[in-house]
Amino acid sequence: MTTYKIKEFIDTEAHKIFIDRCFQRKACWSDDTCRKYIISANKKRTPYPIVVASVSSGLQHSIRMGDKLSEDRYRECEGLRKDYVSLDGQNRVEAFRKLFADELSLSGDFIDADGAEITVTNKFYSSLPIRLQDALRDLEINMSIMNSCLYSDLNDIFVNINSGDALNRQEIRNAFNTPISSFVRKISERKDIAEMWPKITGFKPPAIQRSQDAEWTAIAYMATLQGLKIDANPNGIDNFYLKGKNQLQKNIPEYSSRNQTRFSNIMSILARLCSHYKTQHYGTIPQKHFWAFLMASEYIQDRGCQVKDLAAFSKFVVKLDEKLSNKSHKKFMSDHDKWEKTGLGAEPSKSRYYYHWQGEIKKYSCRSQRKQHLIKELNKSVEVQKSLEIELI
């Protein structure tokens, strides 16, 4: 255990810590949570250390053990001039970094370096009384360094450390030592994709910070992966990630470079469709339409099409999706009325109708039937809707 003054730690050590997003979730504390933490630290009520793994000792241990995957990952850290891999404490470090960079104002009751109580209201660090600056600057923080760890074990160490910290299912998946974990995360956080998420109903900053974007990216990958016939429920997603635990990408057909490139292209088209749809509407994109756009993006990618007017096409997809939904709902009502009157046969099940499939994207049978019907209508319509200006590249 090594003890630092917090300002010294931020200035001299924090930049040496590698934040592996396969282990660490995004820094997700709100400014208010950061303020509360700093007040607690000022009053000596924050006993937990920063936990890191040593890069140099981990590399040497990996070489001794013949673990090539671990060796390669540690060498990547060395190439980035990192001495440690973060396992716990990212939000605490970020809170103080923001404080000293004047990116976080403080309000509340504090104790200065002379032991005097002082109240501040909405002040940045540089504007605080000097003796309160001194007290905050000289707060002590402990860093616990774990030596001789295989990189392939760090995900399990991270999960164990955070077992009482309410990690959600996707944050745990992010820590799985599997090639798909880093791929999904990178796609979900790519600039054009990251700009898409806030346009969708139900996507708020706190949810995105807790990896909702990565979870939806994983579901989208599973939904568009040709030949994959599994449900994208929590257990199904877990199993899809675990296919590649401690394996190389080339050993898992579903993770192949060809499949990943295809999916990356589909997501690029999807982001553009969502962007153009947003320009026509003041609200967010309903989730059912987002998934229709995904199916349409897959359609465009696999047919090598170029859509000249994305705004018109996105509007057309929504119109077509709603047409199929409304038609199927009327059919269900008609079938149900007929059944009630005659009593013949089994009661019609909603699971057989398009409008029900719209809300069941995670269920393979529902999304495949919806895709089949939507693509069938797109094929019929593209032949006659010249205004859509769809051409082969």
> What pLDDT, on the 0 to 100 scale, is given for residue 29?
82
Report yes or no: 290 and 339 within 8 Å, Cβ to Cβ. Answer: no
Evaluate whether 231 touches 363 at the Cβ level (below 8 Å): yes
Q: In the prediction, which pLDDT does 155 show?
A: 78
Give strand pairing partners of 285. 200
Query: What phi and psi, each to the nearest 5 degrees, are found at residue 189?
Result: -105, 0
* Strand, coil or helix: 146: strand
First to last CA, the chain: 61
374 near 324, Cβ under 8 Å? Answer: yes
3-state DSSP call for residue 178?
Answer: coil
Residue with tokens 């973060």: 86
Residues 311 and 90: their CA atoms lie apart, in Å, by 41
Cα dist from 181 to 82, 160, 186, 206, whole Å: 22, 18, 9, 21
| CA–CA distance, 357 with 316 (Å, rounded to integer) | 19
Strands 84-88 and 305-307: unpaired
The tokens describing 303, both together, are 């047919």
**84-88 and 17-18: which strand pairing?**
parallel
Find out whether 227 and 262 touch, Cβ atoms under 8 Å: no
pLDDT of residue 392: 39
Q: Compute mean pLDDT per 10 residues along the chain, 393 residues long, and list them.
A: 90 92 72 90 84 93 88 92 91 92 94 92 95 93 90 80 70 83 92 93 85 94 91 92 74 90 96 81 82 94 84 88 94 92 88 92 93 89 53 43
The β-bridge partners of 390 are 307
Looking only at the bridges linking them, the beta strands covering 84-88 and 50-54 are antiparallel
Estimate the crossing angle of helix 68-79 against helix 151-161, to 10 degrees: 80
E strand intervals along the chain: 2-5, 17-18, 50-54, 84-88, 106-111, 117-123, 140-146, 305-307, 390-392
CA distance 350 to 344: 17
- In sequence order, which ranges of 168-256 are alpha helices (DSSP H)? 169-174, 179-189, 191-194, 205-209, 212-224, 234-242
What is the amino acid identity at position 334? S
The pLDDT of residue 130: 95
Question: What's at 233, amino acid-wise?
Answer: N
Instruction: For residue 363, give the amino acid letter.
Output: K
For residue 18, the cross-strand partners are: 85
pLDDT computed for residue 280 by the predictor: 57
Q: Tell me which amino acid residue 346 is.
A: A
Q: How many CB atoms lie within 10 A of CB 46?
A: 17
Listed as own residue / partner, the contacts of 129-137 with beta carbons closer than 8 Å and 24 or more positions apart are 135/42, 135/110, 135/111, 136/6, 136/7, 136/38, 136/42, 136/99, 136/110, 137/5, 137/6, 137/7, 137/100
Classify each residue of 61-81 as buried b or exposed e, where b means 16 or more C-beta atoms within 10 Å of its C-beta: bbeeeebeebbebbeebeeee
Angstrom distance (rounded) from CA 249 to CA 143? 34
